[in-house]
Chains A and B, each alone.
Chain A
């Protein structure tokens, strides 16, 4: 057993990092946000098609496709490393859906075609009866709440191909400026009228959940670094704020969440075990969401501005928590796992 990254894996991560830093650094990120802001409702392109093709050429989408089919022939661990890097820089677009479409949808592997999915694995998990209860409590009525549980589609307007049935999808004013969202009506794709059924444990759904966890991990480690960087330089009371223990402890907890999530995500990429994936997801979602919140806190008033990138990390982290079996579903699966087998 040697859990550490191999030299090849390290090189791959370095390569992806260099590509993304060169092609989607801070300026490109902010430019994309500006484009998204200025876009007329319902139209206008935000996705950088040139970058998408470059990602395709670099093998980002075809990473796990066998070489005989024109792919790179690598595995889930390598895909996880690549998606972690994407998460670090907040790379926009239906990355997971397009990656999963490589080998199925012509052009997806090479990045010529942008693919999104309404396949049901994008639906938030959760049991039908809970959607009903929540609806009752909120007073919105079961039907109205059920609709909210019908699932989400990312990037519907800009995708060239939509997998699954997106008929009747309704645009949302997405919280994340760089992830346009549509809500699917209840009842589509086998979802019950009362709310989403638990997304099935299809191989695609599991991989989608794991790659989402990898993106969350990347985002979490980025916000941890950003908090530490700020704490080292920002001075108050004549010293860096990072010399104050309350700030140090926020940062220490961020790192502890990142490292625990990293171990879980990497291990799940090696075992591909459904319970390992659910565990990775729970911890990575937590690391990303709480990490972004704590990073915002460490940044003080600056953290609350549009100028700072931390809100973009938080908003994207929130969006990702709803993808491919969110936290409720993962926790339920992990509970089932406890009684299903012995350690």
Chain B
């Protein structure tokens, strides 16, 4: 049990910190959360700066264009960028955190060369076309069809809740290539260019008022067969790789952010007198315990991943389950501190409170995470 960082790790931290201190003050202000084109430009600009400074794809393997950093260095990176208030991955979320790693691990050499560098250089944005109106938690029930026509697949169907579809260049798309096979067997993982004819994106308004996700209609869209990652009908296995990255590492940096917000909430309570309420005060104290523990759990998971070559295991489900609830409790407590002002969307934390509601749903609901923990970690019998 060693929580100290090696001299090399500390040196890495110091260099990163110095670089952040140099570049962050000159960054333009973050665009409005509702303006996705502006956010895309902003997020890609930041990614380009990371690339130029040698911090892009830190945790990606070297032969995928990354820096082959250890999970611990990646952890330091997430901790330091968050502490310094650097921009969040934003529109680069899917490309950097799960589509990219999936292609790095499952794609061919040509596929890696085609898709990975533009993600790292901040040139292309990815979205995730997994969910469908009839296939959410039961993802393998997806019905979007793809059939082979010469060198192409022809795709028809629809996807839903596709985050950043409006501004994406590529979509990691799940399609059904064998309708007669058992449902997990007939699925294929494709990289679909979002400018192909036949694609219609209809933005959906979220309860937070923004158009963060969209419905995507696919009408005989032609996707080159060369864009298939993994074998035909072997897409479910590839999907599991994607989901393990999505649940395993994608939320790690946010824990640091939550710890900072919690301290700010406590300070606000001191200022406005709510601190005298012992029940509220203790609630904040308990949240401090929770986020401290989640950070330790992160360090634990990272240490474990270090020994398994960096691939996150199902342990990510335990983290996601706890974290998504803790995040909601944090912003509820913030609202309690703000009192009636929490009803003002102009107040800090009000929008965050709304968007925190998605955390127990997106990337697999809490119920699905519990199923995974029960069946795959605890080994309880399958069944409903």
Residues of chain A whose beta carbon lies under 8 Å from any beta carbon of chain B: 1-6, 9, 77, 127, 130, 228, 231-232, 239-240, 242-245, 247-249, 251-253, 255-256, 259-264, 266-267, 269-271, 275-276, 278-280, 282-283, 328, 330-339, 342-343
Contact = CB atoms under 8 A, between A and B. Distances in A.
Nearest to B270: A339
Given A5-B1, A282-B286, A264 B292 contact: yes
Interface size class of B (residues with CB under 8 A): 35 or more
Contacts of B282: 328, 331-332, 335
B312 to A, nearest CB: 14
A263 B296 contact: yes
Identify the interface centre among A247, A251, A259: most chain B CB within 10 Å of its CB.
Answer: A259
Nearest to B71: A1
Given A228-B379, A256-B373, A267-B299, 5 more contacts: A1-B3, A77-B1, A248-B371, A251-B378, A259-B297
17 contacts: A1-B2, A4-B1, A232-B379, A239-B381, A252-B373, A260-B297, A264-B296, A266-B300, A267-B299, A279-B288, A283-B290, A331-B282, A331-B286, A334-B285, A335-B284, A335-B288, A338-B285
A217 B216 CA distance: 48
A343 B263 contact: yes
Given A3-B3, A248-B370, A279 B289 contact: yes
A6 B290 CA distance: 26
A194 to B, nearest CB: 16
Nearest to A225: B378
Nearest to B281: A335
A232 B381 CA distance: 7
Contacts of A4: 1, 300, 303-304, 307
B288 A338 contact: yes
Contacts of B286: 282, 331, 334
Contact of A252 (B262, B270, B321, B382): B321
B74 to A, nearest CB: 12
Nearest to B367: A249
A245 B372 CA distance: 11
A13 to B, nearest CB: 11
A255 B382 CA distance: 18
B374 interface: yes
A247 B380 CA distance: 10
Given A263-B296, A263-B297, A332 B3 contact: no
B128 to A, nearest CB: 25
Q: Which 5 pairs of residues, A with B, have the shortest CB-CB distance?
A: A243-B383, A248-B374, A334-B285, A335-B285, A331-B285
Contacts of B267: 338-339
B62 to A, nearest CB: 22
B293 A232 contact: no
B381 A243 contact: yes
B285 A342 contact: no
Given A3-B303, A249-B374, A271 B284 contact: no
A282 B294 CA distance: 13
B294 to A, nearest CB: 7
Contacts of A259: 297, 315, 318
Contact of B293 (A228, A240, A283, A335): A283
Interface string B251-271: 000001001101100110010
B301 to A, nearest CB: 9
B227 interface: no
Interface of B: 1-6, 9, 72, 75, 83, 256, 259-260, 262-263, 266-267, 270, 275, 278, 281-286, 288-290, 292-294, 296-297, 299-300, 302-304, 306-307, 315, 318, 321-322, 367, 369-371, 373-375, 377-384
A253 B369 CA distance: 10
A127 B276 CA distance: 13
B318 A255 contact: yes
A240 B373 contact: no
A144 to B, nearest CB: 22
Given A228-B378, A228-B380, A332-B281, A1 B288 contact: no
Given A3-B299, A283-B293, A334-B288, A255 B378 contact: yes
A74 B259 CA distance: 32
A260 B323 CA distance: 10
A252 B383 contact: no
Given A1-B4, A269-B1, A338 B378 contact: no
A257 to B, nearest CB: 8
A63 to B, nearest CB: 15
Given A264-B292, A275-B292, A252 B285 contact: no
A109 B83 CA distance: 45
B318 A251 contact: no
Contacts of A276: 292
B324 to A, nearest CB: 11
Nearest to A283: B293
A180 to B, nearest CB: 31
A270 B2 contact: yes
A266 B374 contact: no
Contact of B296 (A228, A243, A267, A339): A267
Nearest to B369: A252
Contacts of A9: 1
Nearest to A278: B289
A251 B378 CA distance: 8
Contacts of B72: 1
A255 B1 contact: no
A212 B9 CA distance: 34
A337 B284 CA distance: 10
A267 B300 CA distance: 9
A275 B1 CA distance: 19
